Amino acid sequence: MSLSSENGPHAIDAAQLDHDVIVIGAGMSGMYLIYRLRELGLRVRVFEAGTGVGGTWYWNRYPGARFDSESYSYGYSFSQEVLDEWDWSEHFSSQPEIERYLNFVADKFDLRRDIQFSARVQSATYDDDDGCWNIVLEDGSLHRSRFVVTALGPLSAPTMPRFEGMADFQGPSFHTGLWPKEPISFEGKRVAVIGTGASGVQAIQEIAKTAEHLTVFQRRPNWCTPLNNGPIGGAEMEEIRAGYPELFQRCRETAACFVHTIDPRGTFEVTDEERTAFWESLYAGRGFGIWQGNFRDILTDAAANKMISDFVADKIRGRVNDPETAELLIPKDHGFGTRRVPQETHYFEVYNQPNVELISMLETPIERITSTGLSTTDADYEFDIIIYATGFDAVTGSFDRIDITGAEGRKLKEEWQGGPTSFVGVMVQGFPNMFMVMGPHAALGNNPRSIEYNVEWVQRLIGYMSGRDLTVASATPEAVEAWTGFVRQKAEGLLSNEIDSWMTGVNMNVEGKQTRTLVRYSGSAPEYREWCDKVADQGYQELTLS
Ligand code: N01
């Protein structure tokens, strides 16, 4: 840490500010920030665009939305009372239950009194003279605080495709990430779903149950594997509860904070029989085991990756009756696990139903949306409802939607053109007193585990500053460069970083995001925490504190 009074502004007196900390977003990160920052005795204000808490789990209320992490590994771990009082009903709970859970947490800690709902932040500007942040909401109101903490989530800026005629469609159309609160019935309806990522897959398998006719428009297929969900009975929940300490300890030790542990063996170090038996057990097992608990080399060694890809391809062939449809559903442009693996429940069997049709947009692209449906290069289709499961402007997109200006008029969007840089995903050089939870180059994965870590790191830093009458924290250029170098180094050798996906910053629907950038830290969470702990333990030498 370097202390500088000459560089720092003459910080405005706290009493002249509306709040000590303004938090943007009341998802899992924002909610936990309230809890932790209150412990420091700070005046916290959260601005949330929605009308309720939950973030991702508030907005993504599309049919079929549910956890892909085991419910009990995803919930907050910080409160013994919450762990004692909350029972999960399924190994992978559905959105309504998750939203109830987050409201239960909000009630328990009376979080809503510090949240202003229906409050979308339009701009955040650092005031060089007063050393504080000016936050302006869409309603034009101005709010001033010493610190701003973004709790925006890495996947919270939904993106629509750019087809011609999208405004012409006369029926209802929805993006999965902006799903309405009123129930939507598909009975007797002709429905189109565009997009087959994790959201599309979950929605398709649910909508296919009731729609009169469902047409799925798929561009690139994904490697989907079974979720193998199931109910949790009372006795099982008690066992899970008794095992929470070990469970969270395991999540602390695994690379991406999931319960699944990478197998130390290499794919070719076992016999063919052993390999097949292992993969069969993973395919029949719960959740991300086949992705996160597989042989150590399947995501780095092309030959190993080809083998597991062939195994999963055969499973798809075995589940889809029509061989041509099966081939359309098998990815040919990337190997298993190199993009985010959607988890499914009878997804492939959906294509055996007479009311479901698959259209490959690689063969017959959509040309335009019409007033009654859409046209591909091959045919015209009529629909009652169109669903866009077309994903998000990931990681930096939610920042880009706010006009964020740091010291000396720097615009965050411009600073991050060509790819974001940060210090441990929490601070950006030139943006003093702005902290990010789950920002670019922080550890992703089973996100709540990293959210809790990030929030506690921010709490510790602000607590450190408050205890020493320090009012301004900035990351030094050297610190940002060192962390970015580490992120770059950790990206090497991973097959996923050679593939276009949101994890490599590509979104064809967003101007300027057509080529791969380093948006994600792909090292392990334990290494991430080791780095961050060291910074805090050694007194924040990487920061300028004044
Ligand atoms: O978004 P996606 P998502 N024309 O970007 C297609 C998390 N998540 O919302 O692959 C035609 O993965 C696009 O096609 P292509 C999870 O981390 C978690 O599904 O670009 N098609 C793709 O098929 C996940 O990874 C959970 O060729 C277009 C789809 O739309 C992340 O969110 C549940 C198109 C977008 O897939 C994002 O998932 C759900 C166009 N112009 C999501 N534009 C759980 O944990 C896009 N597509 C439970």
Per-residue confidence (pLDDT) for residue 11, from 0 to 100: 73
Per-residue confidence (pLDDT) for residue 514, from 0 to 100: 94
C-alpha span between 265 and 514 (Å, rounded): 37
Q: Do the strands 385-388 and 403-405 form a parallel or antiparallel pair, or are they unpaired?
A: unpaired
Strand partners, 404: 124
Per-residue confidence (pLDDT) for residue 1, from 0 to 100: 38
Query: Does residue 15 register a pLDDT over 90?
Result: no
* Residue 539: C-alpha distances to residues 20, 37, 433, 463, 472 (Å): 22, 20, 17, 12, 15
Q: What are phi and psi of 443, to 5 degrees?
A: -75, 120
Per-residue pLDDT tens digits for 415-444: 999 899 999 999 999 999 999 999 999 999
Please state the rounded mean pLDDT for residues 242-266: 98
Per-residue confidence (pLDDT) for residue 44, from 0 to 100: 98
Instruction: Give the helix/strand (H/E) hosting 265.
Output: none
Per-residue pLDDT tens digits for 443-466: 999 999 999 999 999 999 999 999
Instruction: Give the helix/strand (H/E) hosting 381.
Output: strand 380-382
C-alpha span between 347 and 336 (Å, rounded): 17
Query: Does residue 197 register a pLDDT over 70?
Result: yes
For residue 33, count other CB atoms closer than 10 A to its CB: 27
Q: Ligand 1 atom 12: the closest Cα is on which residue?
A: 197
280 and 311 in contact (C-beta within 8 Å)?
no
Ligand 1 center–CA 159 separation, angstroms? 10
- Residue 166 CB less than 6 A away from ligand 1: no
C-alpha span between 223 and 174 (Å, rounded): 25
Higher-confidence position of 5 and 318: 318
Q: Ligand 1 atom 25: the closest Cα is on which residue?
A: 340
Q: What are phi and psi of 324, to 5 degrees?
A: -65, -40
Ligand 1 center–CA 389 separation, angstroms? 6
Instruction: Give the helix/strand (H/E) hosting 112.
Output: none
Share of the chain above pLDDT 90, in %: 97
- Residue 64 CB less than 6 A away from ligand 1: no
- Residue 265 CB less than 6 A away from ligand 1: no
Ligand 1 center–CA 54 separation, angstroms? 20
Query: Does residue 9 register a pLDDT over 80?
Result: no
- Residue 365 CB less than 6 A away from ligand 1: no
The region that residue 391 occupies, defined by phi over 0 for left and psi between -120 and 50 for alpha, beta otherwise, is left
- Residue 68 CB less than 6 A away from ligand 1: yes
Please state the rounded mean pLDDT for residues 271-299: 98
Per-residue pLDDT tens digits for 49-101: 999 999 999 999 999 999 999 999 999 999 999 999 999 999 999 999 999 99
| Angle, CA 385 vertex, CA 379 and CA 390 arms, to 5° | 80
Q: Is 12 exposed, middle or buried (0-12, 13-18, 19+ CB in 10 A)?
A: middle
| Residue 196: band (very low, low, confident or very high) from pLDDT cuts 50, 70, 90 | very high
| Angle, CA 399 vertex, CA 107 and CA 40 arms, to 5° | 45
The chain-wide mean pLDDT, for the chain, equals 96
Per-residue pLDDT tens digits for 494-520: 999 999 999 999 999 999 999 999 999
Residue to mutate (ligand 1; options 199, 288, 367, 393; most atoms within 8 A of CB):
199
Q: Ligand 1 atom 3: the closest Cα is on which residue?
A: 391
Q: What are phi and psi of 317, to 5 degrees?
A: -60, -35
Atom of ligand 1 nearest to the CA of 155: 32
Query: Does residue 326 register a pLDDT over 80?
Result: yes
| Residue 375: band (very low, low, confident or very high) from pLDDT cuts 50, 70, 90 | very high
Beta strands (DSSP E) in 398-493 are 403-405, 434-436, 473-475
Per-residue confidence (pLDDT) for residue 10, from 0 to 100: 60
Query: Does residue 7 register a pLDDT over 90?
Result: no
Please state the rounded mean pLDDT for residues 217-221: 98
Identify the CA nearest to 395 among candidates 165, 154, 185, 37: 154
Domains of the chain: 2-51+117-157+394-545 (3.50.50.60), 198-231+257-388 (no CATH)
- Residue 391 CB less than 6 A away from ligand 1: yes
C-alpha span between 203 and 65 (Å, rounded): 7
Rg (CA), the chain: 24
Per-residue confidence (pLDDT) for residue 4, from 0 to 100: 39
Query: Does residue 3 register a pLDDT over 50?
Result: no
Per-residue pLDDT tens digits for 118-147: 999 999 999 999 999 999 999 999 999 999
Q: Angle, to 10 degrees, between the axis of helix 447-467 and the axis of helix 244-253?
A: 80
Per-residue confidence (pLDDT) for residue 533, from 0 to 100: 98
